[in-house]
Structure 1
Amino acid sequence: MATPRDTPASRRVRANGDGTVYQRKDGRWEAAGYVLAPGNTRRRVRVYGTTRKDALAKLTEKIAASNRGLPVPSAQGSVAAYLTYWLENVAVHHLRENTHTRYTTCVNRYLIPGLGKKKLTKLTAKDIRTWLNQLRTTCQCCTRRLDARRDQPRCCAIGQCCSKLLSPLTLNYIHSVLKSALEHAVREEEIPRNVARNVRTGTPRPRRFEPLTADEARQLLTTAQGHRLHALVELALHTGLRKGELLGLRWEDLNLDAGTAAIRRTLQRTNAGGLTTLPTKTRASERRIAVPARCVQSLKLHREQQQREREAAGAAWQHSGHVFTTAQGGPIEPTNLTRTFLTLLRKADLRRIRFHDLRHSTATLLLEQGVELVVIKELLGHAHIGVTATVYAHVRLRLQRDAMTALGNALDRP
């Protein structure tokens, strides 16, 4: 009687749970067995190899992972299908509407055309790296046919490529959106790991900004004197509040007697809700700040002015409760504030900057006055002090040079 030891390897009976291994008609070997699947269920999987040993090794690896509690990936669809599912069922509930809109644009414009046809479970770091390298060197006029839609083509449509390439910041943003989507696929146990994390895109240079100098800031404040939004410009320069935070400020958030302001919300325009009030950008952005005495005085004058406008508007007055409103009491459109700000810059004969650069101006001027970085971080509402240190690294470097120069002058004196 033959014992299991005497039975040939190809015919030996495997233990229960070890799966089966057999040779197919095409000569390949196939191994099948039950492994752990998402939802604490079990699913039969099949693997193939050129030899019995090869197929058995693949099946053994999957069963060993299953025994460790790692479910087998279940996603059989394409990257495009999963990205669409992620946007419509996951990201929409965790992102602000404007952020979700940017994510959707990024997915539809770059990720799906570039990687959408690949199977989610077969996507590799090499695929992502190759695609990003190609995207980095591809003219967007050619790829998206931008030139063909112009009234007068001036690029690819006439054979003169302008080499309109994506900036490093845009490439980094595209990569981060892909990482976020794949990270959720890992959490849902659709894939075993996030292959996008194995791709390094490099750290892009921070966006350059041109803050106002102390003289320019004084010139802007002088020009804004008498304007109905003078208090807004003055508060922006003294506190570094974001545009949405300024426009979302309500009188109930201010304590003019104590000289404080509670930053709780931001005003933004969204595609679905129009002009709407939203929570602050991050949890750290919800904060209480000190308001300088001159800003308190300006806000008191602004409140008196708003009361006069309310009496003049009569029944047409909109009771929005905002500190900074239109002449009829309604919230101010962010784009209209930008136009007003640019008009003030022209009247002051100052260079064109963004409204957000007033925030950078505040931080830069505070740093130059020797204010501690942690104080500036709290004032600006940054989530981490590393953000403040990174954004204003060039300012700190200049201050270090000034300090070294002052030290050198002191050491040179007899």
Structure 2
Amino acid sequence: MTGRKRGNREGSMYPYKDGWAAYVWVTTPSGLLKRKYVTSKDRDTCHAKWIELQAKARTNVVSTSTDTVAAYAAYWPEEIVKPNLSLGTYINYSGWVRTQIAPGIGGKKLTTLRVRDVQVWLNKVAATCHCCFQGKDTGRMPEKRRCCALKKCCKDLYSKESLRGLRRTCAQCSGVPSPRRR
């Protein structure tokens, strides 16, 4: 008998359409076991991708779809934070997610989110007042507008402690390490 039988969850590699395909069983962020596929025109390239995916699957949770930050941010406070942390932490994290993270970087895909993206967004949050960033003043009745909608910024910026909390929440929620401030 030539070769050996593959072990459980090692996956397989096979000819596919005009090239090669391979899959590995991975654990998803929701805890399910699913197949993750890689393809290539060249067998050697496909094999290299397959080996890399196997190594990643052994050490990490691997996403099988390309969720956005907003989709994961909606799931994260309810399913991860609420059952495992205190009520105050849940309220704090879900507030940051709802008011800042989802509107700010929610459209980015988790697979393409980088530290640089988070840093640029955090710099924008730090330099913009609450009203301008969240569009609070534009939602008020016209006679009660007093800030950004009248082109008179109140300069009510976030405190350093608030920005630290937002960074911490972002790092926990996105899985991307947030840039540190000193």
TM-score by length of 1: 0.35
Distance 1:141 1:64, change over 3 A: closer
Q: Which residue of 2 aligns with 1:260?
A: none
Q: Secondary structure at the match of 1:177?
A: helix
Which of 152, 156, 180 is the matching residue for 2:172?
Answer: 180
Instruction: Provide the rounded CA distance (Å) in 1 between the counterparts of 2:145 and 2:32.
Output: 58
Q: Secondary structure at the match of 1:90?
A: helix
Which of 157, 166, 169 is the matching residue for 1:165?
Answer: 157
Which of 48, 53, 69 is the matching residue for 1:57?
Answer: 48
CA contact (8 A) 1:75 1:121 kept: no
Q: How much does 1:144 deviate?
A: 1.8
Q: How much does 1:143 deviate?
A: 2.3
Instruction: Provide the rounded CA distance (Å) in 1 between the counterparts of 2:37 and 2:164.
Output: 37
Which of 101, 104, 112 is the matching residue for 1:122?
Answer: 112
Q: Secondary structure at the match of 2:22?
A: strand
Over the matched positions of the two proteins, sequence identity in percent amounts to: 32
Distance 1:108 1:48, change over 3 A: farther
Q: Which residue of 1 aligns with 2:21?
A: 32
Letter in 2 for 1:200: P
Q: How much does 1:20 deviate?
A: 3.2
What does 1:256-405 correspond to in 2, within 5 Å? Answer: none
Instruction: Provide the rounded CA distance (Å) in 1 between the counterparts of 2:115 and 2:107.
Output: 16
Instruction: Provide the rounded CA distance (Å) in 2 between the counterparts of 1:44 and 1:176.
Output: 30
What does 1:200-211 correspond to in 2, within 5 Å? Answer: 200-203=179-182
Q: Which residue of 2 aligns with 1:195?
A: 176
Q: Which residue of 2 aligns with 1:98?
A: 88
Q: Secondary structure at the match of 2:24?
A: strand
Q: How much does 1:181 deviate?
A: 2.8
Q: Secondary structure at the match of 2:111?
A: helix
CA RMSD of aligned residues (A): 3.1
Q: How much does 1:70 deviate?
A: 2.9
Distance 1:64 1:155, change over 3 A: closer
Q: Is 1:19 aligned with 2:13?
A: yes
Greater relative CO (CA pairs within 8 A, separation 6+): 2
CA contact (8 A) 1:33 1:59 kept: yes
Q: Is 1:154 aligned with 2:146?
A: yes
Larger radius of gyration: 1
Instruction: Provide the rounded CA distance (Å) in 1 between the counterparts of 2:134 and 2:36.
Output: 43
Q: How much does 1:21 deviate?
A: 5.6
How many residue pairs get aligned? The number is: 168
Q: Which residue of 1 aligns with 2:62?
A: 73
Gaps of 5+ in 2: none
Instruction: Provide the rounded CA distance (Å) in 2 between the counterparts of 1:102 and 1:21.
Output: 50
Q: Is 1:144 aligned with 2:123?
A: no
Q: Which residue of 2 aligns with 1:208?
A: none
Letter in 2 for 1:201: R
Deviation readout 1:305-335 (Å, 9 max, x if unpaired): xxxxxxxxxxxxxxxxxxxxxxxxxxxxxxx
TM-score by length of 2: 0.73
Q: How much does 1:202 deviate?
A: 0.9
Deviation readout 1:202-241 (Å, 9 max, x if unpaired): 13xxxxxxxxxxxxxxxxxxxxxxxxxxxxxxxxxxxxxx
